[in-house]
Amino acid sequence: MRMLALAMTLVLALTPPVMAQQATEIDHYTVHFSAINTSQLPPQVATSYGIQRSSSRALLNITILDGTGDSKRPVKAKAITASARNLTGQTRSIDLQEINESDEAIYYIGQFRVNNMETFDFTVTANVDDRAEPLELKFRQQFYTE
């Protein structure tokens, strides 16, 4: 499991700024998110997690942390959903798989198809802890397949 965390860190560090990992604060939670072409993953990582490497497939990666400063801890979502809507209005539901590295990291990843220069508006909703309202994240990203 540590291999995915290391690989995702390396991939995110080497991708252009528009594709880099981003984060948003919601109350005392930090939600990290990224979406990259799966062709950017090292082959051994893709194989070990059953991810198809292709420039026409993308990987959504979500991590939720609770706390402030250096005392942030990973949070397991009770329920998490993700969807992507392109500019022509087509919506894709993204099935998310939980990757749990005990107390060190919890990731939610999901794959979906992309076309060259396709732009998606993502919506991620996560129910965490005893919070009455779910955390909601929205972001936009364009993908290139060539």
- Residues 60-118 have pLDDT tens digits of 999 999 987 778 899 999 999 999 999 999 999 999 999 998 768 899 999 999 999 99
DSSP letters, 17-63, are: GGGS-EEEEETTEEEEEEEEEGGGS-HHHHHHTTPPP-TTEEEEEEE
> For residue 98, how many other CB atoms are within 10 A of its CB?
12
3-state DSSP percent of the chain in helix, strand and coil, to 5: 15, 50, 30
Overall average pLDDT of the 32-49 stretch? 93
Q: What is the pLDDT of residue 25?
A: 92
Those residues whose C-beta lies under 8 Å from the C-beta of residue 78, and which sit 6 or more positions away, are 127, 128
Q: Could you state, in order of their start, the residue ranges of all structural domains in the chain?
A: 2-137
Predicted TM-score (pTM) of the model is: 0.84
Q: What is the CATH number of domain 2-137?
A: 2.60.40.3340
pLDDT band for position 9 (cuts 50, 70, 90): very low
